[in-house]
Amino acid sequence: MNKNLIFKTYNKIQENYPHFTHSDKFFLRCILKRNNSIIKIEDLSGKIKRNSIFASREIPKLNFEFQLLNQRKLGLLHNDKKIEDFKLHNLEDLFMWFSTVFINPNHFEFYEEKLADSSYTKVSFNPLKKFQNKAIGYYIINNKDNSIKEYYSKTNPSFVEEISFEKKQGFKWRTVDTELSIKYDKYTKNDKYFISNAKLNHKTDLYNRKK
């Protein structure tokens, strides 16, 4: 497909999304799994105030203010009386992830797919061979107003073997897959789209001296 639909969607960003200071409530749940078994959960809820949902020429830097209202943490001990720990993204970094849905069209090839609901079009993207470190994914675009209804991206499987390990004190690890999924709904009072749900998954291979 040609890139006209992508360019139309990008050109409507300021019209469709809030490029002004606004506040939202948020609920975050972070889950740590080992071999698909849940071993730790942490919940955070509060309020966020930001100057825009996306950066732009007019607002090149996103600013965030947070108020935490509640926090809960629980985990499971194993036979060795130890519990795996993880470091959460700080809130500013996390919300920056949720504001990163734009790609350079010159680095990708696009595939258009008609959906059962003709109001939307799915546009999948794959990086060109010389940009294998870029993610693969898709947009679901509202054909009426060229808004992004859903965005999804993940680590390009062709690039995984190129990801290097970090090493420390007999351990080595690398994040082999990162998935980002964001959905948007329109707030009728101001006719703008806001994040309704977002999910960020990291899959990490961890090795110690034995395995």
Dump pLDDT digits (tens) for 29-47: 999 888 888 888 999 999 9
| Alpha carbons 75 and 30: distance in angstroms, whole number | 12
Contacts of 197 (CB under 8 A, 6+ apart): 181, 182, 183
pLDDT at 151: 98
- Give the tokens for residue 51: 């100057």
The pLDDT-based confidence of 79 (bands split at 50, 70, 90) is: low
Residue 82 pLDDT > 70, yes or no?
Answer: no
Segments of 19-127 assigned E as strands = 22-34, 37-50, 64-75, 108-114, 120-127
Residue 87 pLDDT > 60, yes or no?
Answer: yes
| Alpha carbons 152 and 154: distance in angstroms, whole number | 7
Which of these, 26, 28, 71, 31, lies nearest to 53 by C-alpha position?
Answer: 26
